Structure 1
Amino acid sequence: MGAQARQAVIETIFLARALTTSDQAGIGSPTPQSFRFGPSLLVFAYIVLCCVSLAYVTQFYESILRTGSNADALYATALNIAPFALISILFSVSQFSLGYLLGFYLYTIILGYLWLIQLSKFPYDHALAYASSFASALAFLVPALFITAPIKPRVEISPGTFSKLLTSIFILSAIVVVCGAFFNLRMVRLAEIYTYRGELRFPAWLQ
């Protein structure tokens, strides 16, 4: 039910932004947009739905997440994502575009990560990961939402060359996957993947 509600809010946000932009200046127009209370309210409602969904997720992954008391867990995670939630205002002052669409889904992914990182039991620098994720979101959202004029690249790649480059990347990736399978291919149950993940070993040339 939570997933259906979130999807409904997503569609409503995109429709509201598309209609607002088309009424004001047309899709893709570089005319600056003023703050819109309606889309902002929808985005904040979406954030709340995400947090409710993630609260239920926490209950099913107690093996890798610190749950504690419900009040303590909710308080800690709410404080963790509060600064990031304020970034959602960017979606209320930007035009609807492909960058808006991609940025919104990236925002959702990082929002979920920042919620779960506070409860993670994995031994890594959570503060550094938080700062890196926050900065990465800003680095993508600002140009994706506000750069509407095309930027001429310094180096242009022809369609034929770009196609060959993609093919080369695909072939190289396939070779790496096949080589890796020879060293660590093992069929395990889903609940055991974290147990065996720490045992993965590769030769230096493959790493």
Structure 2
Amino acid sequence: MSAPPGIFTDLRSRLDSKAVLTSLVLLHSAVTCLSLIKVATFQYYISFSGERVWIAVIVALGFSVVSLLFVIARFSFGYFVGFYFYTMILGFLWIDVFSYYSYPQLPAGISAALALVLFLLPALFVKAPLRQLVKLSNAHFEHLLTLILVISVVTIAVASTYNFRLVSVARIYDYRDTLEFPPAVRYLTGWVSSTLLPFAFACYWLLGHRWRAGLVLGLLLLFYPITLTKFAFFTPAWLIALAVLSRFLEARTSAIASIFVPMLLGLVLIVLTGAPLNSIPGRYFDLVNIRMMATASSALDIYNNFFSSHPLTWFCQISVLKPLMHCPYQAPLAVVMQEAYDLGNLNASLFATEGIASVGLYLAPLAALASGFVLALGNRTSAGLPPRFVLMSTGVLPHVLLNVPLSVAMLTHGTAILFLLWYVMPRSLFEPKT
């Protein structure tokens, strides 16, 4: 027998209580730090020293107070993104204590902590809905979803003429540096894979159109042989996981668990098995604990080191601004970092790019505050929509924002388009039909 709906709803509410959320965010902070201790055994540029561990523990304990903001704030787009950024900055503060590099570490740590707090203030608490000057009817919106599928199919067909290779995940780096797409195809690929199809999946899933949701997942998987990224390969599984997780948990708990559970599992696997990175447990740990989170945190460490002795960009890395300014770097910042540190193509979040690289560590908190207001537009355009839908439709973007500048996320990956889609959606779409 299945549990009565009232009991199920009561259980979800209990799991979203302040006591449970407080325990969960504090436990997540501990897991993040413990994970980085283990990461240090595999990555030379993320170090660990028993002599300084007490300093790192004090820093982590003090900063974990910030996580309590996620206990008092209601769920929103900014909540989802903000918790991932909290994890990244906590990781950087831990790494900062043991940094392999030489730069002003205390000011860098203070700057990063203040930047996150200033980012979270608008991202968590600016939610006033925008007046809907344009609102589609339910019928017109369903036509829009069909148009998204058509655009996606055309994009996949065109992009596949430039590259379509069925290779294992282990071999993608043998080919990925040779990929070249025209600008229009590159933008469409980013919009469709990061925004349009996840948005369509959330709509179809919550409307009960399971076969259409399955079609969307199939289209998303086709981006793997085109782009040859792990991100594309795992996106369908990630969206299914969010759909299942949010079925049993409230949106806030789901957002926190979406990063806590994978990191905890990776840590447990690697500690219990003691396996190397080329094993199955090791590959999982590498994908989740290292590449998904530790790399984003260590990027701040590297950017702080580089720009402590090199000219700032003053935002000239943004492609539309570069022709108008004298820019000290002609190549993209990720390539500049690759040439300087030989660690691969190192893209980084807004805290590193719009912050450290653009204005330096002393003004970086102000850049983070401005970025928080930009992303708070997502809260305002999605106001009135079901939290579960917002969580699912934006499922890919927290990972995007951990690894690329804000300007790239807004334009190349279509975050601005998602805001527009939320804005024009009929708020009655998910109401029960009578």
Would you call these one fold, judging by a TM-score over 0.5?
Answer: yes
Q: Is the 2:37–2:48 contact (alpha carbons within 8 Å) kept by the matching residues of 1?
A: no
Q: Is residue 19 of structure 2 the alignment partner of residue 37 of structure 1?
A: yes
Match of residue 200 from structure 1: none
Look up the equivalent residue of 1:110 and give its one-letter code: I
List aligned pairs for 1:11-160, cutoff 5 A: 20=13, 36-62=18-44, 64-69=45-50, 72-150=51-129
In 2, Cα distance between equivalents of 1:48 and 1:68 = 17
**Structure 1 147/122 Cα, relative in aligned 2: closer, same or farther at 3 Å?**
same
List aligned pairs for 1:171-182, cutoff 5 A: 179-180=330-331
Match of residue 193 from structure 1: 342
- RMSD (CA atoms): 3.7
**C-alpha displacement at 1:65, in angstroms?**
4.7
**Cα deviation 1:100-135 (Å, max 9, x = unaligned):** 001101101101100100000311100110110011
**Structure 1 61/145 Cα, relative in aligned 2: closer, same or farther at 3 Å?**
same
Q: Is the 2:49–2:98 contact (alpha carbons within 8 Å) kept by the matching residues of 1?
A: no
**C-alpha displacement at 1:171, in angstroms?**
5.7
In 2, Cα distance between equivalents of 1:48 and 1:66 = 18
**Cα deviation 1:18-60 (Å, max 9, x = unaligned):** x55xx9xxxxxxxxxxx81111111111111111111101222
Match of residue 10 from structure 1: none
More deviation in 122-131 or 72-81?
72-81
**C-alpha displacement at 1:74, in angstroms?**
3.0
Percent identical among aligned pairs is 29
| SS at structure 2 position matched to 1:59 | coil
Matched positions, count: 141
Look up the equivalent residue of 2:116 and give its one-letter code: A
Look up the equivalent residue of 2:97 and give its one-letter code: Q
In 1, Cα distance between equivalents of 2:331 and 2:77 = 36
In 1, Cα distance between equivalents of 2:48 and 2:320 = 43
**Structure 1 97/60 Cα, relative in aligned 2: closer, same or farther at 3 Å?**
same
Match of residue 357 from structure 2: none
Q: Structure 1: which 5+ runs fail to align? A: 1-18, 24-34, 153-165, 195-207
| SS at structure 1 position matched to 2:38 | helix
| SS at structure 1 position matched to 2:75 | coil
Q: Structure 2: which 5+ runs fail to align? A: 1-11, 132-186, 188-317, 344-434
- Relative contact order higher in (CA < 8 Å, ≥ 6 apart): 2
| SS at structure 2 position matched to 1:102 | helix
In 2, Cα distance between equivalents of 1:45 and 1:65 = 22
**Cα deviation 1:110-161 (Å, max 9, x = unaligned):** 0110010000031110011011001101101122112221479xxxxxxxxx
**C-alpha displacement at 1:94, in angstroms?**
0.7
**C-alpha displacement at 1:170, in angstroms?**
4.6
Look up the equivalent residue of 1:128 and give its one-letter code: P
**Structure 1 57/66 Cα, relative in aligned 2: closer, same or farther at 3 Å?**
closer
In 2, Cα distance between equivalents of 1:51 and 1:193 = 26
**Cα deviation 1:158-180 (Å, max 9, x = unaligned):** xxxxxxxx9xx556669x8x943
**Structure 1 99/66 Cα, relative in aligned 2: closer, same or farther at 3 Å?**
closer
Q: Is the 2:39–2:46 contact (alpha carbons within 8 Å) kept by the matching residues of 1?
A: no
**Structure 1 180/142 Cα, relative in aligned 2: closer, same or farther at 3 Å?**
closer
TM-score after normalising by structure 1: 0.56
TM-score after normalising by structure 2: 0.28
